[in-house]
Each structure stands twice: as structure tokens, then as C-alpha cells.
Amino acid sequence: MTYIRNNQKTLRVESYKGLLDHVNNIGRDNTARVGNIFILPSTFVGGLRFMSKLYQDNMEMIRKFGRSDLFIAFTCNPKWEAIKSELKPFQNPSDRPDLVTRVFRLKLKEFLDDIVKRKLFGEILAYVYVIEHRKRGLPHAHCLFTLSNEDRVFDAL
């Protein structure tokens, strides 16, 4: 973070000059205090540039392979035996987010292997997934899959 803060000029953040001028003008007009602003690179996970890069990568995937054919939500079940067996009698799954997340990631990997490597729905050209955590702390994944032309479903019952 110190490197990023101290090397803003070499990291080409001059394009934000207009934005900074605007923020500083608002600070003068409204007597609001404006702190030091520094721009995070796309390698900073969770930052604006990082998220923008992910979005652009996914849009390129759609341009290359076409629209997604499958949308699947994969949710964590707090009653999975792998979770229940590791909890102490007085514990809830929400008390052990480390355990819940580890089991979820292992089951998600197996689920993705079933679809992509074992070709459960046929040949997968591209896929993307996002993991989110619900209010109770349980993770879930939203998955998009693009099938090959031979395996696409055009009619459904």
C-alpha cells in the first residue's frame, strides 16, 4: 500500500485529475474534509479496477463463446455431514466460518469437476462463477456455463 500511495504518478493515475479537482471543489464549497486520495491498481483484490477487469474479462468471454446456456446456483447446506461432524455439541455452523467455507469450497470444486471435467451436461466451452456470503454467513455460488453447439439445448419440455 505504501508503494502504491508513493508512486501514484508512475502508476498513471493522472486521468483521475478531473475527478480529484471535482472532489476538492466539493470539499471547499461544503466545508467537507477531503483526505488523501490514492488509486489502487487492478491487482488489489476487491478494488474498483480489479472488479472492472473481471467484468471486462467476462464480457470478452461472452464475445468469444456466446451467451451462457446454464445458470446454476450452488448453495451451502449447514446440515452437510462434513460440517456437522466437526462441530462441538454447543456450536452452530455460524460459529465456524472457517470450517463452513472450507467444506463449501471442496464441495464446489467437486461440483465443478462433475460439470466441466466429467461433462455432466456435455462439453463446456467456458464457465465463470462468483461466491457470495448470505446474511447468516453461509456461502453460495452463482455459476454460468457455456456449452458447445452440439450439447446446447434448444427445446425444453
- Does the pTM of the predicted model rise above 0.75? no
Segment 13-42 shows an average pLDDT of: 64
Q: Tell me the DSSP string of 16-47.
A: GHHHHHHHHHHHHHTT-------PPPTTSTTS
Local confidence band at 42 (pLDDT 50, 70, 90 cut-offs): confident
pLDDT in the model for residue 46 = 87
Query: Which residue in this structure is represented by grid cell 488523501?
Result: 36
Q: Is the pLDDT of residue 7 over 80?
A: no
Q: Is the pLDDT of residue 139 over 70?
A: yes
Q: What is the per-residue pLDDT across 48-77, written as a single tens digit (0 to 9) for each?
A: 889 999 999 999 999 999 999 999 999 999
Q: What percent of the chain has pLDDT over 90?
A: 61
Local confidence band at 128 (pLDDT 50, 70, 90 cut-offs): very high
Residues 6+ apart with CB under 8 A from 139: 76, 100, 101, 104, 131, 132, 133
pLDDT in the model for residue 137 = 78
